[in-house]
Chain A
Amino acid sequence: MKELRRNMRLIGALVVVMFIALAGWFAMTVYTQGAIWASDAHNTRLAASNTLRGDITDRHGNLLATTASDGSRQYTQNEQARRALSQTVGDIAGMSGVGVETFHSSELMDISTSLLDRLSELFHGADHMGSSIQITVDGRLQAAIAGRFPAGYKGAVCVMNYRTGEILAMVSKPDYDPYDIMSRSDAQVEDTAFLNRCLQGLYTPGSVFKIVTLASAVTADPNVITQPFTCAGVWEYQGGRVVCAGGNAHGDVDLKTAFKKSCNVIFGKLAYQLGLERLRATAEAFGFNENFKFGDFVVYNSSFPKDVGGMSELVWAGIGQGQVLVTPLHMAMIAGTIANRGVMMKPMLIGKVVNSLGVNTAVGQSAVYRQVLSEAVAGKIAEYMYETVQSGTATRARVQGYAVCGKTGSAEVSDDKTVETNAWFTGFIYDDAHPYAIAVVIEGGGAGARMPSQLASEALEWTIKYVG
């Protein structure tokens, strides 16, 4: 019996400990994920509840979404603006899964309100009022950029303030009209229109990735900038070859010229010289292969190959091809890091959350995400990017009276040349009074990146005009 009691004590303790673990797990998941579960689009309680959703306003306080007195949800009146903001603001049907309406519905509906508030509402018979959210986006700016986006093309434009991390515009084309969804006639919605390409579009970066390769090289050896390189237009190496755009030979050049002319051969060689480890370390410092959890929104994770089979993949990774994938938002963050003296800011979308009583329950705080590069290296790259806009591949991105720095890219998305390349521009205004970084991608926009550079120039000009 003594032994039996001992065993029973053991088993009893085991069962009780398991129960405590279960209760702990339960409490923890509900505490951390409960609001996310509750705000899921499949929650029928949201649509049926008598909760009045709070407003969504832009950075200047302009209404982007509000609940009318009859309880219906209203969006911006102008159709073009409504469409331009569609994926950013979202819709109550939850079609755009990353919009504020969906991702922040627990705040908009104040699901986490305290017991006391609920009791008082119960006694007063009042409708439950949700909180209002002010986002950092500028509605006019976003609508203007969307209006200038080349007709018929798909793509994205992301503008952010690199000193604070505030996202100022997230244009994603094609877009949709939330009213179409609400009237349940989704026939007019274009394919993939619900995607917010700034956050959910994983693109091959192509030459814009050379910023990362350059950063890695200069960090590893500051003398690399004086090293002579030769480009014969084609580089044949064991197991493959790299060609410069149009097969042009850039000749004997230094790194600055190679960068501003976007020389594939020299950057391929540079990647090879660096080796996978160092290049990957820099890419990961920039946030590649990282599980982004910024809190304000969902963004897909960018990737850089962990392991390469051979030399070819390393060389291609160095010029942003192969298995390298990035979102436009992340690309804007990378450009912003160069401008912000090597410091990457945490991107933010939520300016503040104000509850129904007018009390600020949350205020967006800008925060340093990480020091990625030394100030000296960042300054050097900014100089190269400035040259690129002054006399390199990105001259169309110039803005009168401002120091624009940038880099273009044409990313090949298929092995044969039948599909038009994705055209990229990423850059920034190098000015602490106007600290704006931008990334533009136009799917099938063609080589030379004329369209995105042009659009970026206009977008930056409007940003100065509207945001200040």
Chain B
Amino acid sequence: MSRQRTDAMKRALMRSNTRLLLTAVMLFQFAAMALIAFQSGTVNRQALILAVALPTVTALTAGIMGRIWPVDRAILIMVLFLCSLGIVTLSDIARSDVTPRTQAIYALAGIFAMFVGAAFIRRFTGWQKYYRALMVLCVMALLSPYLPVVGIVKHGARNWVGFKSLSVQPSEFMKPVMILCLAAGFANRPRFVQCIPTLAFAAVCCAVLLVQRDLGAVLLYFLTTVLMYYAATSNAFITLSGLGMGAGAAVVAYRLIPLVQTRVALWKNPWSDPTDKGLQLVQALIAIGSGGLFGMGLGLGRPRSIPLYYSDFIFAAITEEFGLIFAIGVLTVYVLIIMRGLIVAFNARTSFHSLSSLGLVVILGLQTMLIVGGNTKLIPLTGVTLPLVCYGGSSLVSTFFSMGVLLGISSMNAEDEARDIERIEMREEI
């Protein structure tokens, strides 16, 4: 009896009315894919299948996950929306049908990873015992591209491992793991001395990534660590000196690494070399400008003239196709996910869960800002992915896993709250 009541209550607690949101997302998915399917003389069969598959998978995922655990459905649906936006954009602009198909398969793997993430965090009660082992695992994974045979160098960064056609990027997969390690290390308001091993772990991670020339990831890991440290300890002095050290390291990196100098120079004036080095950014800006307020229209843009239109510059491609207003809308969706995520962090019952949610939200936000700022010439370009949207399996699956962890924490919050209410009621009955 009591058990049933708790279940009913926790459902009621988390069931903010998301039906309208879900319907809107499904309509978008269907309409966009149908448009792509019929836009040329011959029917694009794959797009037609996706026009049905995307809304179906979205509805099923939202329904099933919502049934199993009382998760925050708004976050879940917005995550699925961003993922489908990636598939829609790729279906429209990619040169071959293989790219969107692969991305759709990655998305399925990602949804699975999201369930795993939620289940994992709900069961992961022994974090105090295991997090040090997890740290070692994390560093080892980051070092794995140096292994013979499986290590791969792509775009000047040695940060991939794989066999033949299947390759993954450990720095992507380690993002949620590292945040869980940091949250565990910083939990329960530690003194500075107690934080040293955790900070050393973060420093080692950054150093490894720096050597691999994965500069975007270094920046992300570093800023997230600093912000989580501040949240956990309120130690403004250490935080500011950490930021100062980071700024110093950035200056040193600028002096020593030619790649950084090139990026900064191109950011300052991409038009100085519009056909070679500045090509990416110039073409991205041209694409954004061509889109205007309402975009060229799905299927009517030509974002393929931007190199890496499917990954680093997918935001520019989206702006060209859908327009400025839609692009701002996409940013708004990220902000909404972040704000809902912050609520999850506020409501969490332990500092470990609070810090984990905060870290996941912060890294999502920073990553989005880095790449969108890079696409729009606000900051120098760093090669990070647009979370959930841009093409690439590692990033997609890893971000889904992160969101799964966040959703898992939100479900635990809901259950705790339901239990509280029940306790109060029982006391009143007595």
**A10-42: which residues lie under 8 A (CB-CB) from chain B?**
11-12, 15-16, 18-20, 22-23, 25-27, 29-31, 33-40, 42
Which residue on B lies nearest to A15, using beta carbons? B365
Report chain B residues within 8 Å CB of A11. 227, 230-231, 358, 362
Find B378's partner among A6, A8, A22, A44 (CB 8 Å cutoff).
Answer: A22
A26 touches B234 (CB 8 A): no
Report chain A residues within 8 Å CB of B376. 25-26, 29-30
B327 touches A26 (CB 8 A): yes
Find A12's partner among B288, B294, B339 (CB 8 Å cutoff).
Answer: B339
Find A43's partner among B286, B293, B324, B369 (CB 8 Å cutoff).
Answer: B286
Report chain A residues within 8 Å CB of B368. 19
CA separation between A29 and B319, bound complex, in Å? 13
B286 touches A16 (CB 8 A): no
CA separation between A16 and B369, bound complex, in Å? 11
B290 touches A18 (CB 8 A): no
Secondary structure dominating the interface of A: helix
Report chain B residues within 8 Å CB of A253. none
Report chain A residues within 8 Å CB of B291. 34
A30 touches B369 (CB 8 A): no
Which residue on B lies nearest to A24, using beta carbons? B328
A26 touches B378 (CB 8 A): yes
Report chain A residues within 8 Å CB of B397. none
Interface residue? B302 (CB, 8 A): yes
Interface residue? A112 (CB, 8 A): yes
B369 touches A7 (CB 8 A): no
Report chain B residues within 8 Å CB of A1. 351, 354
A26 touches B372 (CB 8 A): yes
Interface residue? A111 (CB, 8 A): yes
Q: How many A-B residue pairs have CB under 8 A?
A: 132
A19 touches B335 (CB 8 A): yes
B294 touches A115 (CB 8 A): yes
Find A42's partner among B189, B234, B282, B378 (CB 8 Å cutoff).
Answer: B282
Find A22's partner among B292, B319, B372 (CB 8 Å cutoff).
Answer: B372
User: Assuming the A-B contacts A3-B189, A111-B292, are A15 and B324 also in contact, with contact meaning beta carbons closer than 8 angstroms in the complex?
Assistant: no
CA separation between A17 and B409, bound complex, in Å? 25
A38 touches B305 (CB 8 A): no
For the side of the interface on B, what is the size category? 35 or more
Report chain A residues within 8 Å CB of B302. 44-45, 48
B369 touches A5 (CB 8 A): no
Report chain A residues within 8 Å CB of B339. 12, 16
A38 touches B351 (CB 8 A): no
Report chain A residues within 8 Å CB of B345. 8, 12
Instruction: Write out, one digit per residue, whether chain B residues 277-320 have a CB within 8 A of any chain A CB (1) or not (0).
Output: 00000110110111111101100011001000000000000010
User: A46 → chain B, closest Cβ, in Å?
Assistant: 9
User: B389 → chain A, closest Cβ, in Å?
Assistant: 16
Interface residue? B132 (CB, 8 A): no
A30 touches B338 (CB 8 A): no
Interface residue? A293 (CB, 8 A): no
CA separation between A450 and B339, bound complex, in Å? 75
Interface residue? B22 (CB, 8 A): no
Report chain A residues within 8 Å CB of B342. 8-9, 12
Which residue on B lies nearest to A43, using beta carbons? B286
CA separation between A118 and B290, bound complex, in Å? 14
Interface residue? A433 (CB, 8 A): no
Find A37's partner among B289, B328, B354 (CB 8 Å cutoff).
Answer: B289
A37 touches B372 (CB 8 A): no
Interface residue? A187 (CB, 8 A): no
Interface residue? B135 (CB, 8 A): no
User: A105 → chain B, closest Cβ, in Å?
Assistant: 11
Interface residue? A151 (CB, 8 A): no
Interface residue? A4 (CB, 8 A): yes
- 20 extra interface residue pairs, beta carbon distance < 8 Å, beyond A19-B335, A31-B324: A1-B354, A3-B234, A4-B354, A4-B355, A5-B346, A8-B346, A9-B342, A11-B230, A12-B345, A15-B338, A22-B369, A23-B332, A25-B376, A26-B327, A29-B376, A30-B289, A30-B324, A37-B286, A38-B289, A40-B274
**8 nearest A-B residue pairs (beta carbon):** A37-B289, A38-B289, A34-B289, A12-B342, A7-B231, A38-B290, A115-B294, A15-B365
User: Can you list 9 contacts pairing A with B, beta carbon distance less than 8 Å?
Assistant: A8-B231, A8-B346, A9-B342, A11-B358, A26-B327, A30-B376, A40-B286, A42-B274, A42-B286
Q: A interface vs B, CB < 8 Å?
A: 1, 3-9, 11-12, 15-16, 18-20, 22-23, 25-27, 29-31, 33-40, 42-45, 48, 111-112, 114-115, 118, 122
